[in-house]
Amino acid sequence: MCADLDVPLSPINIQRFANDCLQVQLLENCRERDVYLVQPVVRPAQESLMELLLMIDAAKGASAGRITAVMPHFAYARSDKKDAPRISLGGRLVADLLETAGVNRILTMTLHAPQVHAFFRVPTDQLNALRELAEHFLPSDLSKATVVSPDLGNAKSASAFAKMLGVPVAAAAKERFDGDRVEITSLIGDVTGRDIIVLDDEIANGSTILAILDLLREHGARSVRIACTHGIFANDAAHRIAADPDVVEIVTTNTVPSTGLLAHDKLTVISVAPAFAEAVRRIHSGESVSALFDPTHV
């Protein structure tokens, strides 16, 4: 991002005390400056969240003019509804914590569900990686390609992605049980003899992708490529998915740091740093950023 913006990366110092508490110090003057704090809320999620809150507090205490939290991935977006008795809504709570800490604006990418956007009561820009993913697939032979959404909740994004590629779209009906057990019972659309591109917003444990692979095999799909924005790939999920003989390629972005985590010849990681850099430039200069998070804009 800094390279694209031609600005230096300002250093910070994080100190851990003997009682395991953290202290953050910004090592650059930010008085009346437009400050952008880049921190994906990823594993260890509690640690990264606390670091971000402390950075916001430090910038607020240093009289920053405006504080924008740039969260390429927001893990707590999955805690977005009360679907069981007496459970917490982590997404809303963390949004409130960020506001209380002093953030003025949020910049993020592909929240897990549309309602999460409304949890933030400060201006929030939600980018997506559909354009970057489409640019990766467009040079390929797409004459027999079909985009498949692994669940109906992602069908709108899958439709926009399919339109960018100029191919048909299909969607599956998914039911999630306790833990990571997933059952996909039906598929809407024709996938027989087709080259499938499965589009999902996030791959964590990989249970949804493994389930859709079984269903696509039953319906006679010719080949499968996987595309997602947030490649968490917990519990060796990338290797388990890549081990499927029908999977040709797994494509994700770098919203989740992957150093030392992923190494497979079927895996491609696309950088979304230019998209975030352009969003930061437009926010700083007071320009519209709507073109960057419009999935139909090419």
Compute φ and ψ for 98, nearest 5 degrees.
Answer: -60, -40
Sequence-ordered list of residues with C-beta below 8 angstroms from that of 285, at least 6 positions apart, any chain: none
Residue (of 260, 261, 241, 246) closest to 200 by Cα position:
241
* Total-model pTM: 0.89
The domains found in the chain, sorted by start residue, are: 2-127 (3.40.50.2020), 130-270 (3.40.50.2020)
So what's the pLDDT on residue 98? 94
pLDDT (mean) for 128-151: 93
How many Å apart are CA 230 and CA 206, to the nearest integer? Answer: 12
How many Å apart are CA 288 and CA 273, to the nearest integer? Answer: 18
How many Å apart are CA 280 and CA 274, to the nearest integer? Answer: 10
Binned at pLDDT 50, 70 and 90, residue 262 comes out as low
So what's the pLDDT on residue 85? 82
264 or 281, greater pLDDT: 281
The catalytic residue positions are 174
Residue (of 201, 239, 198) closest to 219 by Cα position:
198
β-bridge partners, 37: 69
So what's the pLDDT on residue 298? 44
Given a cut of 80, is residue 155 above it in pLDDT? yes
> Strand, helix or coil at 66?
strand
Given a cut of 90, is residue 197 above it in pLDDT? yes
Tens of pLDDT, residue by residue over 99-132, are 999 999 999 998 877 778 888 899 999 999 999 9
Residue (of 252, 242, 229, 220) closest to 144 by Cα position:
220
Where helices occur in 62-154 by DSSP H, the ranges are 90-101, 114-117, 130-137
Residue (of 223, 222, 208, 221) closest to 172 by Cα position:
208
Q: Hey, what amino acid is at 4? A: D
Residue (of 63, 67, 58) closest to 99 by Cα position:
67
How many Å apart are CA 278 and CA 1, to the nearest integer? Answer: 9
Using alpha carbons, list the distances in angstroms from residue 152 to 75, 103, 113: 21, 34, 12
The residue whose two tokens read 């982590």 is 90
Q: Hey, what amino acid is at 23? A: Q
So what's the pLDDT on residue 17? 93
75 or 11, greater pLDDT: 11
